[in-house]
Amino acid sequence: MQIDELDTPSLTADLDAVERNIARVQHYCDDHGISLRPHVKTHKLPELARMQVEAGARGITCQKLGEVEIFADAGFDDILISFPIIGESKIERLRRLAERVRVCVAVDSDEGADALDGIDVDVLIECDTGFGRTGVQSPEEAARLAGTVERFRGLMTYPTPAGTSEWLQRVLDLVGEVDCISVGGTPTASSVHELGIATELRVGTYVYGDRACMANGSVPLEDCALRVLATVVSTPTRERAIVDAGSKALTSDLAEATTGYGFLLEHPEAQVYKLNEEHGHVDVSRCERPPRIGDRVSIVPNHACGAVNMYDEIVLHRGGEIVETLPIRARGRVR
């Protein structure tokens, strides 16, 4: 069966492109002696994580304990949680997970560090090297916090703005060598060796690519594996087509350095200028042959991780021929 026969909207991924993306980043990491630890928040599929590990990835990265539980059940046994674990019930779940798989957690506070007492986990100190999200605010604070945890293994940051190397090196000057310096982000995934300090790369989006990756140059269109297939359901004017993929099929996530909500493969001149929940508003005024009612379109979403999270299943194909349909096992594991 061909993906053209699927009802819409449907989420599809081109396995050939997925394999190219996995191989490209793995080769890059191998060439530079950097461990790859893919972030599974993007695909939420044990099957793709298996491909990543078989290609050479060291382990996986999860963002939520709910993801860790799914992937541990699926046999993954080396998992980094790159998100602060706070609260009694989460600490208890972490304790149970740590009894059966190797877990490393990111910590950026005394509260987070203290809660790990007696739990069998490694710790990376999360450092805010400029992004302004989580992470300790100074190398001195990183060194101090590192001294309070039992199994300090290294440092973690995301992303890697200018000054990151110097920031992290200052911590090393204070604490000495560490096992792991973990950095993240698909946009800079092919240049982290230039930092001269990273030992591990965490990336998620690279496996599928998306419109943001096209805009920032990290994944070219030909390697963007993910599509939301949609149908034109209304053409009220010459300028406007409405497709059956709105914010519940594409998300309202924007992409830096571009406007609109997705790239229409069959109509590159078109602009998805607005979304309602189930309606995608497409400006087709610049299309010489605008799409007609019933026409199918293939949309590269702005943000792969967000789009995947809207679906219960994904259809994997090669060249349009369906290979298999997989349940997105870790979708909805919000906690």
Which listed range, 27-35, 168-176, 210-218, 231-239, lies at the site for a second copy (CB under 8 A)?
A: 231-239
Which listed range, 22-30, 207-215, 225-233, 264-272, lies at the site for a second copy (CB under 8 A)?
A: 225-233
Residues 234 to 293 in contact with a second copy, rule: CB under 8 A = 234-237, 240, 242, 244, 247-249, 251-254, 276-279, 281, 293
Structure tokens at 242: 């409405």
String marking each residue 148-177 x if it binds a second copy according to CB under 8 A: ------------------------------
Q: Which is nearer to a second copy, 206 or 311 (CB)?
A: 311
String marking each residue 303-322 x if it binds a second copy according to CB under 8 A: --xx--xxxx----------
Q: Which is nearer to a second copy, 19 or 141 (CB)?
A: 141
Residues 79 to 98 in contact with a second copy, rule: CB under 8 A = 83-84, 86-87, 89-90
Q: Among candidates 190, 138, 140, 204, which has minimal Cα distance to 160?
A: 190
- Signed CA dihedral, 234, 237, 238, 242: sign only: negative
Q: Which is nearer to a second copy, 5 or 288 (CB)?
A: 5
Q: Which is nearer to a second copy, 21 or 302 (CB)?
A: 302
Structure tokens at 73: 């059940």
Q: Binding of a second copy at residue 335 (CB under 8 A)?
A: yes
Contact residues: a second copy, CB under 8 A: 7-10, 41, 63-64, 83-84, 86-87, 89-90, 108-109, 111-112, 128, 132-137, 231-237, 240, 242, 244, 247-249, 251-254, 276-279, 281, 293-294, 305-306, 309-312, 332, 334-335
